[in-house]
Amino acid sequence: AARGRAGGPLRLRPADVREAVREGREGNLVLFVVDASGSMGARERMSAVKGAVLALLTDAYQRRDKVAVVAFRGTGAQTLLPATSSVLAASARLAELPTGGRTPLAEGLLAAADLLRVERLRDPKRRPLVLVVTDGRATAGPRPLDRAARAASVLAATAAPCVVVDCESGPVRLHLARRLATQLHAPHHRLADVASDRLVGLTTRSVA
């Protein structure tokens, strides 16, 4: 009756108006930048990363998320897994991930920045998150730590949120991954504290 049902025209209010809103295709891009060098803990590092990548991809389709992996070892870095939501593609690429050699940290960080630029042009609405899994011990090329610091500033300039997962092990600790986290303005977590299942949880919280 208050709306005119008792007689006269129906009285409408602004709150009665609705409109259909199409759900966007925004999703997350989780980029793993992985130290695949021969330093201590390489096998544990790869196991944690492989488990996290595959776990993230199992429900990536529903969230419209994608995962990519940049690995660095020897003298350079390579995009081991281009941005994908395919568990099958990820499994195939990660199965034969080589390890060993020196640690070209600067090349890995620069490759990550390049991949982010390409993906932003391709899909500007996708939210990036970069997980750098390393002990921070740059050993390849001239003045490797200085070059790594400059590369970190390039990656930080992309404004993509970063997380550093520190895989340093052994009795001598240089805390270089913590320094890298400071350079990237990123939180720092130890790999021992974030096994593959907890690494998935850390990633999910960071891009929520």
Q: Of 174, 163, 170, 191, which is closest to residue 45 (Cα–Cα)?
A: 191
The listed range with the strongest mean pLDDT (3-17, 93-107, 144-158, 194-208) is 144-158
Given a contact cutoff of 8 angstroms between Cβ atoms, the answer to whether 97 and 36 are in contact is: yes
State what percent of residues in the chain have pLDDT above 70: 83
Per-residue confidence band for 59, with pLDDT thresholds at 50, 70 and 90: low
DSSP labels, 42-65: HHHHHHHHHHHHHHHHHTHHHHT-
Average pLDDT over residues 170-191: 88
Closest C-alpha to 67, from 54, 84, 86, 55: 84
Percentage of the chain exceeding pLDDT 90: 35
**What does the DSSP assignment read for 80-146?**
EEEEE--HHHHHHHHHT----S---HHHHHHHHHHHHHHHHHH-TTSEEEEEEEE-----SSSSHHH
Question: What is residue 167's DSSP assignment?
Answer: -
**Predicted structure pTM score:** 0.78
Tell which wins on pLDDT, 98 or 130. Answer: 130
Structure tokens at 94: 């990660």
Query: How far is it, in rounded angstroms, from Cα 11 to Cα 4?
Result: 6
pLDDT digits (tens, 9 = 90+) for 65-108: 888 989 998 889 999 889 988 888 888 877 777 778 888 999 99
Amino acid at residue number 60: A
Query: Which CATH number, 1.10.150.20, 3.40.605.10, 1.20.140.10, 3.40.50.410, labels domain 25-207?
Result: 3.40.50.410
CA distance 88 to 104: 29
Count of CB atoms situated within 10 Å of the CB of 119: 19
**Structural tokens at position 137:** 């011990």
Indicate the domain borders of the chain: 25-207
